[in-house]
Amino acid sequence: MGTKERRNRKTLKETESRTCMRCSCSLPRGDLSYVIQIRVFADFDEWLVEPREGVDQQLEELMKQVEQSDPENLEKEVYEEITLVLCKSCRDRFVHEIQHPWEGPFPIPMDPSRIIH
């Protein structure tokens, strides 16, 4: 009676696995996961709005706003970097959603023949 030793690849600690940041499924080590990096930054179109009041007053108001704002939030308004770790299915969905933002979070395929081939 020969004993066949099965090689179990899942011997890594569970704690070492990562989780998908969207659906919370675990991403076992060695499995493919996807990293999405989003950079959101303020864009200035170089169009200066004609000041209704004096420039001094506008500047004063701006300074007041800056003083009242949390510097961390202020920085985020100018530049923010978001990193997401996703599983394959969430990655597919994410990519589809950002490419078709007008379809909403639950897009209904308009042309099923394109999917079936």
- Only one of the segments 52-60, 63-71, 75-83, 88-96 lies at the binding site for Zn ion (rule: CB under 5 A); that segment is 88-96
Q: Should residue 90 be labelled a site residue for Zn ion when binding is judged by CB under 5 A? A: yes
Total Cβ atoms within 10 A of residue 86:
21
Distance CA 81, CA 35 (A): 13
CA 27 to each of CA 17, 20, 23, 39, 71: distance values in angstroms, whole numbers, following the listed order: 6, 6, 11, 24, 36
Q: Should residue 87 be labelled a site residue for Zn ion when binding is judged by CB under 5 A? A: yes
| Site map (CB under 5 A) of Zn ion, residues 48-77, x = contact | ------------------------------
- Give the one residue of 12, 18, 19, 23 binding Zn ion; rule: CB under 5 A: 23
